[in-house]
């Protein structure tokens, strides 16, 4: 990911090689591909993952993807296979904790 972002920056800088540039004109070109790949809520969820779930459960899984399909907001969570059954019991509680953290229905399905 870092390499992709670096290549975008290099391409933009080559285009405007000998011209003065405003940072404000450069940032959208660099940040838009990142913004499309990662929603800010997913980043915030990853950042506060341990606070939301607690240390024990947060160490067993992590949020990997968020997408909308058929008007359902789905959070995909990666988990070690050994804990999959245990996690299935907690999925409703995890969904409730995440929605409480964001103070609105952020996800419908895990």
Query: Looking at the 3D structure of the chain, how many domains does it have?
Result: 2
pTM, whole model, 2 decimals? 0.60
Query: Does residue 107 sit within a domain?
Result: no
User: Same domain, yes or no, for 14 and 67?
Assistant: no
Q: Which residue has the higher pLDDT, 30 or 43?
A: 43
Give me the half-sphere count of Cα atoms (radius 13 Å) on the Cβ side of residue 106: 20
- Give yes or no for residue 38 having a pLDDT over 60: no
User: Same domain, yes or no, for 50 and 91?
Assistant: yes
User: Same domain, yes or no, for 54 and 94?
Assistant: yes
How confident is the model over 16-25, as a mean pLDDT? 66
φ, ψ of residue 63 to 5 degrees: the values are -75, 130
Q: Which residue has the higher pLDDT, 88 or 37?
A: 88
Residues 6+ apart with CB under 8 A from 62: 46, 49, 77, 78
User: Same domain, yes or no, for 25 and 78?
Assistant: no
**Could you report the per-residue pLDDT of 46-105, keeping only the tens digit for each?**
888 888 888 888 888 888 888 888 888 888 888 888 888 888 888 888 889 888 888 888
User: Same domain, yes or no, for 49 and 88?
Assistant: yes
The tokens describing 35, both together, are 């913004």
User: Same domain, yes or no, for 27 and 44?
Assistant: no
């Amino acid at each position: 990911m870092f390499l992709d972002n670096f290549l975008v920056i290099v391409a933009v800088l080559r285009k405007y090689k000998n011209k003065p540039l405003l940072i404000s004109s450069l940032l959208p070109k660099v940040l838009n591909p990142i913004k499309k790949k990662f929603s800010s809520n997913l980043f915030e969820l990853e950042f506060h993952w341990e606070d939301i779930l607690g240390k024990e459960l947060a160490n067993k899984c992590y949020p990997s993807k968020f997408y909308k399909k058929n008007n359902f907001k789905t959070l995909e969570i990666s988990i070690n296979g050994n804990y999959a059954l245990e996690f299935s019991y907690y999925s409703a509680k995890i969904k409730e904790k995440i929605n409480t953290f964001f103070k609105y229905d952020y996800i419908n399905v895990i």
